[in-house]
Amino acid sequence: MTTADALRIKGGEPVSGTVRVSGAKNSTLPILAASLMATEPCEITGVPNLRDVETMVELMGILGMRVSWDKKNRRMEVAPENPRHEAPYSLVKKMRASVLVLGPILARLGKAKVSMPGGCAIGVRPINLHLKALQQMGARIEVEGGYVLAECSRLKGTNIVFDKVTVTGTENVLMAAVLADGVTTIENSAREPEVTELCQVLRKMGAQIEGEGTPTITVKGVDELRGFSHHVMPDRIEAATLLMIGPITGGRIRVEGGNPGHLDAVLLKLREAGIEIEIYPDGAMEAWRGGDSILPVECSTWPYPGFPTDVQAQLMALLSLAKGTSMITENIFEDRFQHVAELSRMGANITVSDRKAVIQGVDHLTGAPVMASDLRASASLVLAALAAKGESIVSRVYHLDRGYEQLDKKLAALGVEIERIKQPVG
Ligand code: EPZ
């Protein structure tokens, strides 16, 4: 019998205490991809122990890198051994971010064969903008048999203007540009902290980059990149999720090790919802309900520094308990409301029309068996389950394990009655 992990959570009690943020998944993945271009060993510390990182490590092995990962000390060493250029479907289908290897392999080896990622639970998620930009840099690109086949002698610096802000698109082009011939400017580039951190790493490798964190990044190509040592920044999406544990359950939570400077839009929205947030000089954040109720808000997701789409589902769980009607507009992904049906099974009153969700706050949620559809949806269901009266079973937690390091253990340490169980599937 095949089984899958699920979480049994007993909710309805205030959750208070201190919890620590892990290293950022969406930084670790591009940093690992960047190491494909190094001619020397690289050291990455603060690496979160996540399924997506494991998938990336597997992919690095297939691409001819020697990776040793000391999970206990969160330290990884990556060394080039026998560089190869093919990223197979079996891994890319597990994790879309595998496409981040396209730019680095192409720039380093002059050819790349990378499986096209398919759509996923939150939308179609094409990579047309990645491919168009690489073509503009002189790559010959064909899509054949589900694979992107890319070739070039040496990529050439040019002026790229993205039609739409794309995080991994910006990262892919950035990595390709650092080994290109001449200057590349990337306009309408993503300003996410993960992009900025990737630039810092690339600079440690010898890249010449200016303008990260602004809409225009300029890269002057170099001939070779050396190894680096880097400590991964804290995960801002995990920090935002953990911060909501206090207010959603009526407790008081202290989140340590995060970077409040990456959370301006989230903190602003939570404060608007009547959440008190205290920030300490060491970056620790504490959150609790300011008054008796959570207040309704309107919120739209945007690229950074706007409110992150990756926190939309968690905010919706919180607002489902607000006193009044809230509205959330999802501007980034066309199908990122799949948590709505599951939250409704717990008693939330939410209606969706196109990209807008109207959330009529309810007095309380009740525990129920619910099913996660993607990573952040899982996090929203866990938050709802913590607040809900009675027992919930959140199934398909493999989504959660992709991007939240040991969330069940962190919650148990906060005193939550939570248990990982096996459920039959099929
Ligand atoms: C990154 O995905 C993150 N993943 C996502 O995190 C995050 O939700 C997303 O950025 C938005 O912030 C990683 O960093 C590994 P995009 P990415 O390209 O880069 C459209 C999580 O839960 N688009 O910025 O794939 C696209 O369809 C995940 O950790 C094109 O049309 O997202 C979307 O509407 C999920 N053509 C918009 O742009 C393209 O070629 C933004 O997507 C590329 C993107």
**Ligand 1: does its nearest atom lie under 6 Å from the Cβ of 193?**
no
0.85 exceeded by the pTM? yes
Q: Whose CA is nearest to atom 21 of ligand 1?
A: 310
Is residue 199 within 8 A of residue 175, CB to CB? The reply is no
Is residue 183 within 8 A of residue 207, CB to CB? The reply is no
Task: Tell me the two tokens of residue 39.
Answer: 């001619």
Per the omega criterion (within 30 degrees of 0), is the bond before 30 cis?
Answer: no
- List the beta bridge partners of residue 219: 184, 209
- Residue 209 is predicted with a pLDDT of 98
Per the omega criterion (within 30 degrees of 0), is the bond before 369 cis?
Answer: no
Q: Is the pLDDT of residue 224 over 90?
A: yes
**Ligand 1: does its nearest atom lie under 6 Å from the Cβ of 301?**
no
CATH of domain 3-22+234-424: 3.65.10.10
The fold of 25-231 is UDP-n-acetylglucosamine1-carboxyvinyl-transferase; Chain (3.65.10)
Say how far apart CA 320 and CA 323 lie, in whole Å. Answer: 9
- Residue 88 is predicted with a pLDDT of 95
**Ligand 1: does its nearest atom lie under 6 Å from the Cβ of 241?**
no
Count of other CB atoms within 10 angstroms of residue 27? 28
Q: Is 42 a catalytic residue?
A: no
Looking up tokens 């680095």 gives 104
Helix (H) or strand (E) segment spanning residue 144: strand 140-144
The domain limits of the chain are 3-22+234-424, 25-231
In tens, the pLDDT along 359-393 reads 999 999 999 999 988 999 999 999 999 999 999 99
In tens, the pLDDT along 304-327 reads 999 999 999 999 999 999 999 999
Same fold, 3-22+234-424 and 25-231: yes
Average pLDDT over residues 233-247: 98
Find the angle CA(105)-CA(230)-CA(133) to the nearest 5 degrees.
35
Count of other CB atoms within 10 angstroms of residue 260? 18
List strand residue ranges (DSSP E) for 175-274, in order. Answer: 183-187, 208-210, 216-220, 229-231, 253-256
- Residue 119 is predicted with a pLDDT of 67
In tens, the pLDDT along 129-155 reads 999 999 999 999 999 999 999 999 999
In tens, the pLDDT along 12-37 reads 999 999 999 999 999 999 999 999 99
